[in-house]
Structure 1
Amino acid sequence: MKKLLLILLSILLYSCAEEKGKTLTFDQLEKEKEAIKSVITTYNQAIQSRNFSPIVELLSKDVIFFGSDSTETIKSIVDFKLAVEEEWSMYEKVDYGEMQDFSIFMDDAATIASVIYGLPATYYMDGVTQKVFLRYARTLKKESRKWLIISGIVGITRPNTEIFIKEEVAK
């Protein structure tokens, strides 16, 4: 009887354990990619509408964001909220276009993913409209069966500086 109980308990524990390292099928991976894209879309919509609540639900507790220099490293959700609120105070409104060049690289077990995409944005501030193209890189990790953002960096495209350099040299 003890052996039977031990066998049943072992089977139960094995069947309830998360499957780590299992290679997913193509269809399963595609479903995971859709879930990841949904996280990114929800994040962008929340930033655009200045609604921080949904953003918190999409971030890992171990989140880290990188800015353009070493002083712009954010290592907590509290610091991230302060940075986002400061950014929101710099403009009246932002409109994002459709995500472009959306690429997801993910391990075969769908536990970690890297996302790279472009996003056209129009910022409105003090009666001035500024159109920019943003490049995002995000890393997501699956925690408790949910995709969460664990790191990110954003860059803004700049004009073709090679033209400006050639003009300066010609003078």
Structure 2
Amino acid sequence: MKKIIFIACSFLFAVAAQAQIKKAELTATGLTCAMCSNAINSALKELPYVDKVVVDIKQSQYRISFKEGSDVSIDGLKQAVEDAGFSVGKLNVTADFDNVAVSNDAHISYAGTTLHFLETKNQTLNGEKSFTVVDKGFVTDKQFKKYAAATKMSCVQTGKAASCCVDDKVKEGSRIYHVTI
């Protein structure tokens, strides 16, 4: 019996170890000069899970690599940009998936967080795949309205699990990221 429990725990640990956000591409808004870009760059590099940041000043884009095995805070990226005095215009996240089934208007638990897929075809994700965060503050107001109209669930307005999400085994009040592929 102990051997079965050990094997099951080892399997769960191996699956959890594979579930990690690897990198992100963030586009910032409100920049007017190289000093603005440097402020965001410095703020992102201070985050404990950020390994490397490559800046494209002309596009106001930041290609961010994360430390292996670290827990990445999507909200932390946004907060760092806002603390530098700017806004996120777009955030694409690349993560490692291992046979994860996703479907439109459904929640999945991934790397310690909950993702709610909008305007997404039913599919199984394997290997490195990118998704775009479409919550308020991660896209323009116009884009947010478009994605918010794609669901009847109230969590899209707050970013927090509500009674609509509990059926998907999500703890009420927990953070939910609305994403699309």
Q: TM-score, normalised by structure 2?
A: 0.23
Largest Rg, 1 or 2: 1
- The structure with the greater share of residues assigned to helix is 1
